[in-house]
Amino acid sequence: MAHSGRRILISAIAALFAIPVSAAEIQHRTVYRVTLAGLPIARAAFLTQIEDDHSYKIAGDIKSAGLADLVKTISATTSVTGVVRNDRLQALKYSLYYKSGKKARVYEVNYRNGDIISATTTPPPKRPKNWIDVTPRDMRSVLDPISGLVFTGDTKICSQTLPIFDGETRMDLVLSPKGDEDFSTDGFKGKAVVCGVRFVPRSGYKKGRKDIDYLSKSDRMEIWFAKSDAANVYAPVYVRIPTEYGMVTITAVKYGSVS
């Protein structure tokens, strides 16, 4: 899987764990597994904290496991800080430290009122001639890839388009309703809302990339959202991402708050 595709996958994995809690100073831990064609490829642990001043922080560690380590070790640490405003999590700063083999890169994005005011990549990457630059227009009204997938309990989740920027690539996730499914894990048992997802790359990628073209043409991507009654929010518990190498699935194996 190419570097861009692995990084986008890491962003999707990170989004799975952005589950807030409602009471002050309560922590929420989430554990998950990631598989490729049914075989384990990654594991992660995330911690969400929301303080009584309505600020929040989500931090996590992601590491390749199983078959992925036979090819190249992949690891990432990611975090997002922000405020809960108008029943939405609004990011102030997002960061991703991503390491693939011996190569490492840091992405940092700063927000103000939903708009991106700065985005840096260290070390600066060399862009090919057919690179599609992110425009100032792409920087307005943008969500981070972690808390951008958390919705209040009365939101019509599967009837909207999510403008996501992961530090390099600006993409739209176009959601559509596909009914509901039973879902059970540690801390949750009930119905999950199923959204079909259409991946639309906007900018910040190499034109003609096979992995991005493949995903953008697929109609098999899904995200399942489960409701946390304590927090009155919906957050992802299952993600299905088609790739040229097989179906990647991301499944929450723990969904619950701890004080």
Q: What is the mean pLDDT of residues 158-169?
A: 93
Contact indicator for 93, 111 with CB cutoff of 8 Å: yes
pLDDT higher than 90, residue 116: yes
Q: What is the pLDDT of residue 21?
A: 44
Q: What is the pLDDT of residue 104?
A: 92
Instruction: Write down how long the chain is.
Output: 259
**Cα–Cα separations (whole angstroms), residue 259 to 167, 251, 256:** 32, 23, 10
Which tens digits make up the pLDDT trace of 54-90? 788 888 888 887 654 545 677 889 899 998 887 678 8
Residue 23 pLDDT grade (very low, low, confident, very high; cuts 50, 70, 90): very low
Between 17-26, 108-117, 129-138, 205-214, the lowest mean confidence (pLDDT) is in 17-26
Between 7-11, 90-94, 136-140, 180-184, the lowest mean confidence (pLDDT) is in 7-11
Which tens digits make up the pLDDT trace of 213-224? 999 999 999 999
Q: What percentage of the chain exceeds 70 in pLDDT?
A: 83
Cα(47)–Cα(75) distance, integer angstroms: 17
Which is higher by pLDDT, 158 or 101?
158
Residue 111 pLDDT grade (very low, low, confident, very high; cuts 50, 70, 90): very high
Q: What is the mean pLDDT of residues 90-109?
A: 91
Q: What is the mean pLDDT of residues 135-154?
A: 88
Contact indicator for 87, 151 with CB cutoff of 8 Å: no
Q: What is the mean pLDDT of residues 7-19?
A: 53
pLDDT higher than 60, residue 20: no
Q: What is the largest CA-CA distance in the chain?
A: 51
State the first-to-last Cα distance of the chain, in angstroms, to the nearest integer: 39
Residue 156 pLDDT grade (very low, low, confident, very high; cuts 50, 70, 90): confident
Instruction: Look up the pTM and report it.
Output: 0.85
**DSSP labels, the chain:** --HHHHHHHHHHHHHTT----SSTTEEEEEEEEEEETTEEEEEEEEEEEE-TTSEEEEEEEEEE-TTHHHH--EEEEEEEEEEEETTEEEEEEEEEEEEETTEEEEEEEEEETTEEEEEEEESPPPPPTTEEPPPGGGGSS-B-TTGGG-EETT--TTS-EEEEE-SS-EEEEEEEEEEEEEEEEBTEEEEEEEEEEEEEEEESEETT-HHHHHHHH-S--EEEEEEETTTTEEEEEEEEEEETTEEEEEEESB-EEE-
pLDDT higher than 90, residue 176: yes
pLDDT higher than 50, residue 22: no
Residue 25 pLDDT grade (very low, low, confident, very high; cuts 50, 70, 90): low
Contact indicator for 9, 212 with CB cutoff of 8 Å: no
pLDDT higher than 60, residue 16: no
**Cα–Cα separations (whole angstroms), residue 148 to 1, 80, 107:** 25, 10, 17
Q: What is the pLDDT of residue 259?
A: 47
Q: What is the mean pLDDT of residues 171-180?
A: 96
